[in-house]
Structure 1
Amino acid sequence: MFDERKYVSFYYETAKDLPKVKPDPATTAMLVVDLQNEFVLKDYGEGKMFKEMGEWDRWEPYFDRLHDVVIPNNKKLIDYFRNNSMEVTYGRIACLKNNGEDRSPVQKTPGWNGMLIPVKSFGAQMVEPLTPEEDDIVVNKTTDSVLAGTNYSQLIANMGIKTVVVTGIVTDQCVASTVRDLADEGFKVIVVEDCCAAATMELHDAELKIMNNIYCQVTDLEGVIKLLEENK
């Protein structure tokens, strides 16, 4: 069972009534962030790179969480949204130029964010079994935030969306940037803890504690489905 106090930060430790999101399924969309072949597969992209660098032991727990928890839970939540005629949307890191010159400076910088993933490449595609359907909105970003480098917020606003359920990777970077931007633009945000991952559980938990109750409401897969069912 999800512990609602786990992600309560210093700011809200003494609060008696924590803010609650009451999502109307008719105006709620799911946003899957960066669950792409480049970042998820164990023998391709970053997984392959970590093995070649001799760093697989450090990263294996992260990839295990992706395959054992995050991907299966995202599939369950996507199925729930589709079965209830709710919007499933995607944000992915993908540059339009093969040489990556259209990327933001942060994604041109060597290191964790230094990535070159052309939009038509295998690495840019969302990992199976989370493949978008033909009518799903998929936006391509060269920024951490799904909103900063795309027209995502305008698109969902046009459709009357008011609440966004966010999943994906990594919790403390692209997910966090997206959540903050959604909140600043006036959307209610729910982050599904067991549908997200960071490099370590320490980073994952710390970022969720920072964001919870200020920019979003953190819950788990069972909790978000319960919220949606209660507000039908």
Structure 2
Amino acid sequence: MTSSPLPRRDAPFRKGETGLLLVDMQRIWIEPGLDPFHPERGPDHYFYREVRERVVPNQRRLLAAARAAGIEVLHTIIQSLTEDGRDRSLDHKLTPMHVPPSLAEGLPPPELAPVGDEILLPKTSSGVFNSTNLDYLLKNLGVRQLVIAGVLTDQCVDMAVRDGADRGYLVTCVGDACAAPTPERHEGALAAFGGYCWITDTETVAARFDALR
């Protein structure tokens, strides 16, 4: 019996089988002065400049192209299900990290917020596949090719990429639509998880989305 050839990591996106996932693009992490863990970082810190000047514009382009092509768009944010955070993972309790559902700063900024019935998944772990039903949802939606962008490149994006690959998805990471606190951490992460995905840029992914319209 002859087996079918395996797909390439950079295989063309297929209509109805492609999804876009934005990771942790919420105000508390990407707007200066809101992150309780790093009050020392001002508006000119590398991370905030990267997010403001590169990541957000690139993600807006990805969102526009995905929506125009009818591609499934999903968002995940760090957020507890309860106001006191008793549902959080042990790691988030020890950190401690807690974003209550009533905190307005815990949501995405308007330009990146879910539109219509796009799915928003709260999580209390680094890996979205570990503390949400994302895998179940993607399979129900028929998604086989998952495009990922967000923050931080070396933490929650890294986990999404690796876990998605382990679960059988063809993963694409949009490198210039992700950011970490330093360029070394960003580039190091891309180099480290590059074996689990196709790393490319916003221009290339947006053009592929456009081709599915």
Q: Same fold (TM over 0.5)?
A: yes
Would you say 1:84 and 2:69 are equivalent positions?
A: yes
1:192-231 map, 5 Å: 192-212=174-194, 214-229=195-210
Alignment partners' CA distance in 1, 2:44 and 2:156: 18
Aligned to 1:61: 46
Which deviates more from structure 2 when the two are superposed, residues 192-201 or residues 217-226? 217-226
Q: Provide the secondary structure at the position in 2 that maps to 1:140.
A: strand
Distance in structure 2 (CA, Å) of the matches to 1:174 and 1:41: 18
- Report the alpha carbon displacement of residue 58 of structure 1 after superposing the two structures with TM: 10
1:21 aligns with 2:11: yes
Asked if the contact 1:22–1:231 (Cα under 8 Å) also holds between the matched residues in 2, the reply is no
Alpha-carbon offset, residue 229 of structure 1 = 5.0
How much does 1:19 deviate?
Answer: 4.8
Task: Report the equivalent of 1:34.
Answer: 24
Aligned residues: 206
The answer to whether 1:50 aligns with 2:38 is yes
List runs of 5+ in structure 2 lacking aligned partners. 1-7
In structure 1, what is the Cα distance between the partners aligned to 2:177 and 2:12? 20
The one of 126, 150, 166 equivalent to 2:148 is 166
Distance 1:71 1:231 in 2: 23
Report what 1:152 is aligned to: 134
2:83 aligned to which of 92, 98, 104: 98
The CA deviation at 1:22 is 2.5
Give the deviation of 1:231 after TM superposition.
6.9
The worse-fitting range, judged by mean Cα deviation, of 26-35 and 119-128 is 119-128
TM-score by length of 2: 0.89
Unaligned runs of 5+ in 1: 1-17
Helix, strand or coil: the match of 2:178? strand
Please say if residues 9 and 197 of structure 2, whose CA atoms lie closer than 8 Å, have aligned partners that are also in contact. Answer: no
Q: Output the TM-score relative to the length of structure 1.
A: 0.83
Amino acid at match of 1:32: L
3-state SS of 1:22 partner: coil
Secondary structure of 2:74's counterpart equals: strand
Task: State the AA in 2 paired with 1:197.
Answer: A
Would the aligned equivalents of 1:21 and 1:190 in 2 still touch at CA under 8 Å? no
Identity of aligned residues (%): 31
State the 1:20 CA deviation: 2.7
Contact 1:45 1:123 in 2 (8 A): no
- 1:230 is displaced (CA, Å) by 5.8
Cα 1:117/1:91, change in 2 over 3 Å: same
CA distance in 1 between counterparts of 2:67 and 2:129 reads 23
For 1:147, what is the secondary structure of its paired residue? Answer: helix
Distance in 1 (alpha carbons) for counterparts of 2:35 and 2:139: 34
Say whether 1:123 aligns with 2:105. yes
Distance 1:228 1:102 in 2: 37
Q: Which amino acid aligns with 1:24?
A: R
The one-letter amino acid of 1:190's match is T
